[in-house]
Amino acid sequence: MAKVFVKPRKARPFWFGHPWVFSGAIDRVRGTPKDGEIVELCDHDGHVVGEGFWNSRSQIRVRVVSLAYEGQLGTPFLLKRLDRALDLRNTALALPKRTQAYRLVHSEGDGIPGLIVDRIGPYLVVQVSCLGLMPHLDALVDRLVERENPKGIIERPSQIAAEEEGLVRQAAVLSGTAPDGEVEIEEDGLRFLCDPKDGQKTGWYADQRDNRRELAYLGAGAEVLDAFSYSGAFGLRMVSHGAKHVTLVDSSEPALALARAAAERQGALDRVTFERQNVLRYFDHLAKEERRFDVVVIDPPKLVHRRAGLVRGLRLYYEINMKAARLVRDGGLLITCSCSQHVLESDFDEMLGSVAKESDIRFQELFRGSQAPDHPVLLPLEESRYLKCRALRVFGTARRPTAAHPNDPAPDEIPNDLT
């Protein structure tokens, strides 16, 4: 097995379980590992830290999977990790009692880098984004079939993996049959529709489940604007908790079609408006009409894909939050989220601080949430705590910001696609 030696004084995070070895931390490689092969990671003095997957094409040269005391990395090891992941959802979290859509495997968070498995009703949706997993994939799929007994397992290709790992996959049916159209799921007592084959990501944003449930009561009696609504999971839950009216805004027609069908099944069509719009343009339109809402929810797609894009991405968050705050009536609520792993909690707070300062309003924080526990955080990897969700009471009426900053992004720069 090839050995990868870390530079002097660079090994500390890996001893503590940080799984990403960037090229800059590597001193030398003994042997000539092929991309995807298992390598041994050693500190500068040659002490073995653990084993991981090598990929010379990726910025992350080694994805460390097992520490030296945990045993040898290979198919049996990964199957044990898979069992541990399935036990968490089925037993400890007892998720099948609460929902039919949840994450069964969350990549590094479950110690299997690059493997995502979501359950969407009777189907499983798999995404692979680590080249080193490929030789083990069949065994992992067999174990999923054996333990989860799904009607079908489908694979959705990951664009990021293709770009960053050189792992090009096609959409495929890995076991059983693919769903023929929409799949109905129930989450915390409410029925929704998902499209695991063609919908965004794997068809459902299970990571926001607990935030949606926690915050739904805040919509009682309220006029709600749910922006970046996807299939309406936030807004329609507020309707079921007595919201007076909800406007769902998304740029994706298929997403709104799922929302419309769900609203119809919930008997709530008279309390929901569907707007297929670019959120930023629509916000400008509402501001011009001097519309105000009791609750504004913003849950934009990932706006920062790489650490290098952080400053620019934070400007976009600033812009969106600024425009959203202007639409909240005095004393109303702004529920604001970010799913970008490179935006840390402190970055997000700072950005919100700038919004308050620049628009002469005050925020009172009522709630601070993260991702649901079927998306576990791997402790030394701060980036794995990717989801931020705040409920803020807005005091004052946000004044119109002065002329746009020359560096402000145009509304079209908000990406419409998600991974």
DSSP track, 368-382: EE---TTS---TT-G
Nearer to ligand SAH, 74 or 415 (CB): 415
Closest approach, Cβ 335 to ligand SAH, in A, equals: 10
Closest approach, Cβ 247 to ligand SAH, in A, equals: 12
Helix axes 345-359, 310-325, angle to 10 degrees: 50
Stretch that binds ligand SAH, among 12-20, 142-150, 230-238, 367-375 (CB under 6 A): 230-238
Q: Which of 42, 130, 339, 389 is catalytic?
A: 339
- Whole-angstrom distance, CA of residue 203 vs CA of residue 213: 19
Task: Spell out, one character per residue from 293 to 332, where the chain touches ligand SAH: x when CB under 6 A holds, - when not.
Answer: ------xxx-------------------------------
Nearer to ligand SAH, 123 or 230 (CB): 230
DSSP track, 321-336: HHHHHTTEEEEEEEEE
- Which residues neighbour 71 within 8 Å (Cβ) at sequence distance 6 or greater? 77
Q: Does 234 bind ligand SAH (CB under 6 A)?
A: yes
- Whole-angstrom distance, CA of residue 78 vs CA of residue 179: 28
Burial class (CB in 10 A: 0-12, 13-18, 19+), 412: exposed
Task: Spell out, one character per residue from 154 to 173, where the chain touches ligand SAH: x when CB under 6 A holds, - when not.
Answer: --------------------
Q: Which of 142, 135, 136, 131 is nearest to 168 (CA)?
A: 131
Q: Which of 325, 371, 339, 377 is nearest to 211 (CA)?
A: 371
| CA-CA-CA-CA dihedral for 231, 232, 237, 239, to nearest 10 | -140
Which residues inside 113-142 make contact with ligand SAH, applying CB under 6 A? none
Closest approach, Cβ 206 to ligand SAH, in A, equals: 9
Supply 419's token pair: 């991974």
- Which residues neighbour 128 within 8 Å (Cβ) at sequence distance 6 or greater? 114, 115, 116, 134, 137, 155, 158, 161, 167, 169
Residue 125 C-alpha from the chain's centroid:
15
Helix (H) or strand (E) holding 235: helix 233-240
Nearer to ligand SAH, 33 or 199 (CB): 199
Nearer to ligand SAH, 278 or 354 (CB): 278
Of these, 228, 274, 318, 363, which contacts ligand SAH (CB under 6 A)? 228
Nearer to ligand SAH, 246 or 356 (CB): 246
Which residues inside 243-302 make contact with ligand SAH, applying CB under 6 A? 250-252, 255, 278-279, 299-301
Closest approach, Cβ 208 to ligand SAH, in A, equals: 4
- Which residues neighbour 48 within 8 Å (Cβ) at sequence distance 6 or greater? 40, 41, 42, 68
Closest approach, Cβ 203 to ligand SAH, in A, equals: 10
Q: Are 412 and 278 in contact (CB under 8 A)?
A: yes
Closest approach, Cβ 26 to ligand SAH, in A, equals: 36
- Whole-angstrom distance, CA of residue 419 vs CA of residue 408: 24
Size of the site for ligand SAH (CB under 6 A): 20
Q: Which of 392, 370, 388 is nearest to 322 (CA)?
A: 392
Indicate if 130 belongs to the active site: no
Nearer to ligand SAH, 233 or 295 (CB): 233
Helix (H) or strand (E) holding 22: strand 20-22
Nearer to ligand SAH, 42 or 225 (CB): 225
Nearer to ligand SAH, 34 or 312 (CB): 312
Closest approach, Cβ 390 to ligand SAH, in A, equals: 14
Which residues inside 185-224 make contact with ligand SAH, applying CB under 6 A? 200, 205, 208
Sign of CA dihedral 355, 383, 171, 163: positive
Burial class (CB in 10 A: 0-12, 13-18, 19+), 262: buried
Closest approach, Cβ 258 to ligand SAH, in A, equals: 10
Site residues (vs ligand SAH, CB under 6 A): 200, 205, 208, 228-230, 233-234, 250-252, 255, 278-279, 299-301, 414, 416, 418
Q: Which of the residues are catalytic?
A: 339
